[in-house]
Amino acid sequence: MRGFARLGLRATRAVRDVGVMHPVRPDRAARLLLPYMRFGPVPATIGAMAALRFPARTALIDERGALSYRDLERRAASLATALRDRAGGDRVGVLCRNHRGFVETVLAASRLGGDVILLNTDFSAAQLGDVAEREGIGLLVHDEEFGPKVDDSGFCGQRLLAWTDSADTPHGTSRSGETIDGLMANTEPEPIAPGQTSRVIVMTSGTTGTPKGARHDLSISSLLPAALSHLMRVPVRSGAPIVVAPPLFHILGFAYATVGLGMGMPLVLSRRFDARETLDTIAACEAETLVAVPVMLQRILDLADPPNTPSLRVVVCGGSALHPHLSDAFMDRFGDVLVNVYGATETGWATIATPDDLRNAPGTVGRPSFRITIKILDEEGRELPAGETGEIYTGGGLRFAGYTGGGGKQVRDGLTSSGDLGHFDAAGRLFIDGRADDMIVSGGENVFPGEVESLLGGHPDVAEVSVTGVDDERFGQRLAAHIVRTPGSRITEDDVRAHVREHLARYKVPRDVRFVEELPRTSTGKVKAKALNDDG
């Protein structure tokens, strides 16, 4: 991260208190309950409790330096006071990259009793306008770089800037508008007692159509099982820096930012992902944990002469499929530090795969989390035995309360559909075979594109691959493989087909093979299949 080099931050200066959670003194224990009683199970409570617990510990490091938990809490409380007086009960939208402004806005707005909407920075102006109108956003906090997009979206509500490129904004304004830094500097925090509990609305990925907002009914009883599973299977330590690379508006990035705050871990954030700078940052801050999506891990593996990262103890991966060739290659390079998590925006964490799971059963997403029920059901709702593929249903995790625009997921016997197809192995480990709507029927045979992707992704001449289904007059649908060659590769279409034919059934051989310069991806690394098919 260039900001670290510029500011000269070192782990020995920014992070000192690393270790296990310290006992809470009896005279402070009661105080820790006050934020929960006031705000409920929201990020504001986690931030306030961390400030009581670890006031002098580093809470956040970004390109502008470090903030202690005490400083972060004061800034969030000041911003909440300013937003209460300015926005009233308006819903607050957050359109920001990964930096302190995102965290401060969420901690502040979740104190006010209104909903906080996390918006995807990849939204087009039209998508942004549609979502803002549907969600009833009255105040939009955004980075300066997104100003033109907001202008074109038709948004008519109030606007504040969370990040500007100006070197100094002493009066709280820039040429593009008023800043949250100015509000925090000029507002004394006041006690806030909201009339209701805020909700944080996370958007679904939205790779097709307009994204939907997922609502949850949160409580201690719904959060504790996931927290306990995490503590048992993911060896993160209180006070040890955590680099969160996925966007914070995504469920993976947001969840681990919340974990970091709750455990008193310094959050290390950068506005844009760069593989080499990420490893440099881990080394500079002596970070023990990296959170990333699979394509980020691939970018790290592609580096020539990567810097050493001896402090790295755990790498949490999620957000999209982690193919066996990638998990094996990453652990061969960095050691058995990789953890794969599976879940959904709607249902939260469902399974966690440890390094042992990934070594013994490559491709698995692990075993169910504590008190999570997962069943594989056929089209009639009957449970399938190990080894047979069906739709994945989960229960016992976060309580999905439907989409903000109406509608919900299919529910059978109290279990919610994930929309994914998968199977268990004999040891009780879950495997994801693909999205239910991604499965294609070619000549009467069911084909999961992910199986073909996994095979081709392990070929030494293939850097990246995405397999999709396209319409076919004779077979109904056929497979199309979109491939990025490795540098210097001369692999041909016939080579690709021959490789698949050698390892898989004939009906799984892609009829179309297209070589492309790059795969179009969302900010969370998911391939935009529709864009590939449109280009083809």
372 plus 494 within the same structural domain: no
Q: Which of 12-16, 92-96, 212-216 has the lowest mean pLDDT?
A: 12-16
The tens digit of pLDDT for each residue in 26-65 reads 555 556 667 767 777 889 999 999 999 999 999 999 999 9
Mapped onto helix, strand or coil, the DSSP state of residue 75 is helix
pLDDT for 207 equals: 47
283 plus 401 within the same structural domain: yes
User: Is residue 18 in a domain?
Assistant: no
For residue 149, the enclosing domain spans: 34-50+63-217
pLDDT: which is higher, 477 or 1? 477
Distance CA 276, CA 278 (A): 5
Asked if pLDDT for residue 10 goes beyond 50, the answer is: no
The tens digit of pLDDT for each residue in 375-426 reads 999 989 999 999 999 999 988 766 666 677 666 678 888 888 888 899 999 9
DSSP count for the chain of H helices, then E strands: 18, 28
pLDDT: which is higher, 433 or 278? 278
pLDDT: which is higher, 470 or 7? 470
Q: What average pLDDT does this structure show over 98-113?
A: 95
Edge-to-edge strand ranges of the sheet holding 399-403: 158-163, 137-143, 91-95, 116-118, 200-203, 213-217, 399-403
Distance CA 368, CA 351 (A): 4
Distance CA 282, CA 243 (A): 7
Distance CA 485, CA 464 (A): 7
Identify the CA nearest to 315 among candidates 299, 296, 305, 325.
Answer: 296
The tens digit of pLDDT for each residue in 423-440 reads 999 999 999 988 887 788
Q: How many domains, in total, are found in the chain?
A: 3
**If pLDDT is split at 50, 70 and 90, which confidence band does 361 have?**
very high
Is there a contact between 239 and 262 (Cβ–Cβ < 8 Å)?
Answer: no
pLDDT for 32 equals: 64
The tens digit of pLDDT for each residue in 315-332 reads 999 988 899 999 999 999
CATH number of the domain bearing residue 236:
3.40.50.12780
Residues 6+ apart with CB under 8 A from 416: 346, 347, 393, 394, 395, 400, 409, 410
Q: What is the mean pLDDT of the chain?
A: 85
User: Is residue 445 in a domain?
Assistant: yes
100-109 vs 43-53: helix crossing angle, rounded to 10: 110
CATH number of the domain bearing residue 522:
3.30.300.30
142 plus 166 within the same structural domain: yes
User: Is residue 19 in a domain?
Assistant: no
pLDDT for 7 equals: 44
Provide the percentage of residues in the chain whose pLDDT is more than 70.
84
Torsion of CA 270, 70, 263, 245, to 10 degrees: 0
Last residue within a domain, chosen from 435, 469, 491? 435
DSSP string, 484-520: EEPTT----HHHHHHHHHHHS-GGGS-SEEEE-S---
CA 83 to chain centre: 27
The tens digit of pLDDT for each residue in 56-89 reads 999 999 999 999 999 999 999 999 999 998 876 7
Distance CA 267, CA 68 (A): 11
286 plus 430 within the same structural domain: yes
Asked if pLDDT for residue 295 goes beyond 70, the answer is: yes
**Alpha-carbon torsion (43, 47, 48, 49), positive or negative:** positive
User: Is residue 485 in a domain?
Assistant: yes
pLDDT: which is higher, 205 or 318? 318
Counting Cα atoms < 13 Å in the Cβ hemisphere of 195 gives: 4
User: Is residue 55 in a domain?
Assistant: no
pLDDT: which is higher, 225 or 272? 272
Last residue within a domain, chosen from 413, 435, 457? 435
268 plus 200 within the same structural domain: no
User: Is residue 88 in a domain?
Assistant: yes
Torsion of CA 301, 304, 309, 314, to 10 degrees: 0
Q: What average pLDDT does this structure show over 438-465?
A: 87
User: Is residue 58 in a domain?
Assistant: no
Q: How far is CA 288 from CA 234, 296, 314, 383, in A?
A: 12, 17, 6, 40
Asked if pLDDT for residue 459 goes beyond 70, the answer is: yes
CA 172 to chain centre: 31
Pairing of strands 338-344, 314-317: parallel
| Structure-token pair, residue 38 | 């006031």
174 plus 258 within the same structural domain: no
Identify the CA nearest to 116 among candidates 136, 144, 130, 143.
Answer: 136
**Which residue type is seen at 192?**
I
pLDDT for 14 equals: 46
425 plus 468 within the same structural domain: no
Asked if pLDDT for residue 216 goes beyond 90, the answer is: no
User: Is residue 413 in a domain?
Assistant: yes
Q: What average pLDDT does this structure show over 455-484?
A: 90
The tens digit of pLDDT for each residue in 135-174 reads 999 999 999 999 999 999 999 999 999 999 865 554 455 5
195 plus 336 within the same structural domain: no
308 plus 212 within the same structural domain: no
Asked if pLDDT for residue 491 goes beyond 70, the answer is: yes
**If pLDDT is split at 50, 70 and 90, which confidence band does 226 have?**
low
292 plus 379 within the same structural domain: yes
pLDDT: which is higher, 335 or 229? 335
Asked if pLDDT for residue 128 goes beyond 90, the answer is: yes
236 plus 374 within the same structural domain: yes
Asked if pLDDT for residue 521 goes beyond 90, the answer is: no
241 plus 384 within the same structural domain: yes
Distance CA 207, CA 38 (A): 37
